[in-house]
Amino acid sequence: MTNFIDISASHRTALGCSQIAQALGMSRWGTAYALWEQYTERRPWPDLGGHLRVALGEPMEDVLRPFVAERLGGILTRDRREYRHPDLPLVGHVDFRLTRDATAAVELLGKVADRRPVVDMKTSLGHGARHRFGEDGTDEVDADVMLQLQGYLLLTRAEVAFIAALVPGPDLKIYPIRADGELQDLIQEGIQEFWTRVQSDTPPDPSTEEDARHRWRQHEAGKVIEVDSAAAALLRDLAAVKAQLRATEAEEKSLRDALIPLLRDADTVTHAGATLATFRANKPSTRVDWPALGQRLIQDLDEDTRAARLADFTRNVPGPRVLRLSKLLEAA
């Protein structure tokens, strides 16, 4: 399957295996709070329609299929079944199942597998793949992939899964993942806790600024919070970093003021035959001048009609909360 979350109808009423890491707060792609907002209809689901990498997913898997089968020493069969956990809101759709006597499975288990191993393909050639996968033949994969595959093993009760990853190069790497009972217990506990929060409309703790801004969009007038020493230290550190940034930005401006006049109207900068920089305009873009268009559309209306039309499209939009540090911190 692709590296994107499956948000089909079944995944709106249960977690997909590719969402396990996010539900447990261990994903690099999103937080548990953001996922909770999607399931409680506070935030829209991502629209993946027409996305190139999604469209290429299954065709790319079919291209890789004979190469993966050769590496694993067995036969790959498409698996169109939807697997559902009998007690948990967990659903999974695996890519392929491998024959039980495949060479790779026998070498890993020391015997013919009791159940057909799962094979999941990752076909995105994005540069992020370099950080998701380690050495070929190991189980060095990131938390998103590991928990997804343990979810598949939990649902299918297979002993082993293989990840076939197409990484930049391009290169095909294989990662064997054995079923881990302790990790699967943690997955089950985490899913149950997350889903209880969904059903009870109880949010997980926000873990990022974006989460917090979604959770508390506006301040409560007059409300004061007394923070602990750790939070006070974070505020002091933030003030110090902001001061460093201001100093760095001032230094950058000084350097640009000295440099840019020297470049005149050249588009390329060289020294001793080596290109050091370019100084060119970006490609022009086309955009609608909405204020001018609106003014043009209403300019021929009489004053009363114009006022009524403007009132129809006038909204009070609350401004974002702004963190302003005390002068006491800036002086510290």
CA atoms within 13 A on the CB side of 229: 0
**9-208 in CATH: which number?**
3.90.320.10
Least confident of 4-8, 17-21, 178-182, 212-216: 4-8
* pLDDT band at residue 105 using 50, 70 and 90 as cut-offs: very high
Mean pLDDT of the chain: 89
Residue 7 has pLDDT above 60, yes or no: no
CA separation (Å) from 262 to 64, 213, 253, 256? Answer: 54, 44, 15, 10
Terminal Cα distance for the chain, rounded: 53
> Shortest CA distance to 278 belongs to which of 287, 268, 288?
268
* pLDDT band at residue 79 using 50, 70 and 90 as cut-offs: very high
Residue 85 buriedness (CB in 10 A; 0-12 / 13-18 / 19+): middle
* pLDDT band at residue 286 using 50, 70 and 90 as cut-offs: confident
Mean pLDDT value of segment 213-225: 93
Alpha carbon distance 200, 255 (integer Å)? 56
CA separation (Å) from 135 to 26, 131, 140, 165, 172? Answer: 22, 11, 7, 11, 11
CA atoms within 13 A on the CB side of 29: 19
The encoded tokens of residue 148 equal 């997804």
Alpha carbon distance 174, 163 (integer Å)? 6
Question: What pLDDT sits at residue 5?
Answer: 41
User: Domain spans of the chain?
Assistant: 9-208, 229-271+321-331
What one-character DSSP code corresponds to residue 14?
Answer: S
Residue 155 buriedness (CB in 10 A; 0-12 / 13-18 / 19+): buried
- Burial string for 210-220 (b: 16+ CB within 10 Å, else e) reads ebeebeeeeee
> Shortest CA distance to 33 belongs to which of 176, 248, 204?
204
Residue 234 has pLDDT above 90, yes or no: yes
Alpha carbon distance 330, 236 (integer Å)? 8
Contact in structure between 11 and 91 (CB atoms under 8 Å) = yes
Q: What percent of the chain has pLDDT over 90?
A: 68
pLDDT (tens digit per residue) in 269-279:
999 999 999 99
Higher-confidence residue of 65 and 315: namely 65
- The phi-psi region of residue 169 (left if phi > 0; otherwise alpha if psi is between -120 and 50; otherwise beta) is left
Question: What pLDDT sits at residue 303?
Answer: 78
